[in-house]
Structure 1
């Protein structure tokens, strides 16, 4: 049995779930819902008093004196469009299992009124799986947050698929890394970290990490000036390596792709009716893969090592089709 002190919370929940600017609740509506949902009987003065208390506490509630109809929660933590976008992000995240994804979408929908989120309630059934999910994903995120906060290394098994389409650990010995940041890229969630034996940063997909533990060993310091988002923007396909400058000549048709990948701070060195020349900054591994991916519409001019590397890759790829 709810006590009188719970009335204010019941009224707030009703306003959150059932009211918005297009669905204004009268005092009678609120009284009926209190009885139907919570089995609570109160008088009209209790409604007025508790709504005034909620407003005083900081909730933006429109009153009858303003709209001449009733009461509704005017401002929420998220706009409807923001909730919709977050739901779409969950759907597109292959690393989130169908079960967890649908639960997340339901939680996101609860951020708006049931009327506001009704238009995209079907999204919950859209979430599917391409492969067996990792049930430890969210637990790993919590542990990595803890490790980064404490400045401690982590150890884990890293799982990959074999030809029998079963997942197995990539190696017998656990990986021991210094975690620096987690970053979302191309529908995947990555751990950006450092291995003691290498100077370059390394990336691990969180959905492939299993049996993660936080150790007592302090992390190896991150590279000087390391900024996760700036670094990830320079790592196409999340392939690492040293960050270098590259000069590329591209068809104008892929200008938007180049900006999407490298940002709008690239240097355009020249252009004509059909092409443009740009200087971009990227990791060695990422740039190599990007250049091969766009070889029909882009040519690397410098550095020479990448020009030679792409030529070898094209020659090797062509030989496979002979």
Structure 2
């Protein structure tokens, strides 16, 4: 029995050695394996290593061999391939809602899925402009609690906060709690949002990083089957910066060359009517709001609101308010 237990330990150590010290560009010889096993207090013979490698292969491990002088073995099959790990590391590094400390921890964990040589390549800095890293790790626990509330069909209670000029968070409603029925979590504009039903107010959304003191209630969710997450897949699509407003069908007159940004924003299912000069008209459902007007302005006149007339007039009025406010600011 003791010999069998020792054999299990040896197999695990051998697999760990292959995972840590080998990849498709770095092979390990049997003598080197014996040295590393000995350093772990395990003595083995050359023949037993060949047998152990075959055993690992029979168990499903993809272990490749490079024959000839300077050859050896390497672990070819891994949970993640190197390009996949690089993509995950880049995403973690660039994500606004992941704190610097948690980013470092996650990247270290991801590095465990690579060889020590590949792990060095993963320790790279990704510079993402205008991404201010959050300093509050409570968002991870908030997301977990909200996922659990949705899965268990429970209401939640929380305090909702805003920033003050003193750079501190102050609770809305004078510190009074919100009680809502959570139906879905969305990731939009680099923030997590909870989509929830609030009694007498209907469907609302809340930024998860602004939620504090979250508690799960025993009461079941309200709102009805129409708020099933599958039916809310496109909840945020008409919105800009998650700004809630009445959704209207708008007509946008777009210059040539604007089709890429338009389809990036509205998707390929948007209605597009091309013209011979390359310009086109696009129809889309939009939450008409100040962020939407700001988005249109960002194209410097290459995208214009052609209809409906009430939206055109509202846009013109918004531009006039901006002009007047700018002139007033210059006079102070």
Q: TM-score, normalised by structure 1?
A: 0.86
> 2:188 aligns to what?
185
Between stretches 311-320 and 42-51, larger displacement belongs to 42-51
**Partner in structure 1 of residue 330 of structure 2:** none
**Aligned-residue offset at 1:297:** 2.6
1:304 aligns with 2:309: yes
- Are 1:72 and 2:70 counterparts? no
Deviation at 1:271, TM superposition (A): 2.6
- Which SS does the other structure have where 1:223 is aligned? helix
Report the CA distance between 1:176 and its aligned residue.
1.8
CA shift digits 1:42-69 (9 cap, x unpaired): 2334433333333223222214579993
Once the two structures are overlaid, the 10-residue window that deviates more, 162-171 or 187-196, is: 187-196
Pair 221,275 (structure 1): closer, same or farther in 2 beyond 3 Å = same
Contact 2:21 2:115 in 1 (8 A): yes
Q: Are residues 157 and 126 of structure 1, via their aligned partners in 2, closer, same or farther at CA, if it must alter by over 3 Å?
A: same
Aligned to 2:252: 248
- C-alpha distance in structure 2 between counterparts of 1:11 and 1:253, whole Å: 57
The question of whether the paired residues in 2 share the 8 Å contact of 1:291 and 1:310 is answered with no
How many residues in Structure 1 have an aligned counterpart in Structure 2? 319
1:184 Cα shift? 2.1
Q: Displacement of 1:22 after TM fit?
A: 0.8
Map of 1:81 onto structure 2: 83
Q: More deviation in 38-47 or 26-35?
A: 38-47
Pair 1:276-2:280 in alignment: yes
Kindly indicate whether the alpha-carbon contact (under 8 Å) linking 2:11 and 2:52 is maintained by their aligned counterparts in 1: yes
Structure of higher CA gyration radius: 2
Deviation of the 1:163 alpha carbon: 0.4
Deviation at 1:289, TM superposition (A): 5.3
1:35 paired with 2:32, answer no
**1:261 to 2:254 alignment:** no
Normalised to the residue count of structure 2, the TM-score between the two structures is 0.83
What is the root-mean-square deviation in Å for CA atoms of aligned residues? 3.1
Per-residue CA deviations over 1:26-53 (Å, capped at 9, x if unaligned) read 22222222333x3333233443333333
Structure 1 gap segments, 5+ residues each: none
Closer/same/farther in 2, CA of residues 262 and 165 from structure 1, 3 Å limit:
same
Determine the C-alpha separation between the residues in 1 that align with 2:225 and 2:135.
Answer: 31
Distance change in 2, residues 1:125/1:236 (3 Å): closer
The change in CA–CA distance for 1:57 and 1:195 in structure 2 (over 3 A counts) is farther
Q: CA deviation at 1:8?
A: 2.2
Query: In the alignment, is the contact (CA less than 8 A) between 2:94 and 2:131 conserved in 1?
Result: no
Q: 1:44 — aligned with what? A: 46
Contact persistence 2:185–2:193 (CA under 8 A): yes
22-31 or 62-71: which moved more?
Answer: 62-71
**Corresponding residue for residue 135 of structure 1:** 137
Q: 1:278 Cα shift? A: 0.8
- Aligned equivalent of 1:231: 235
Shift of 1:268: 0.8
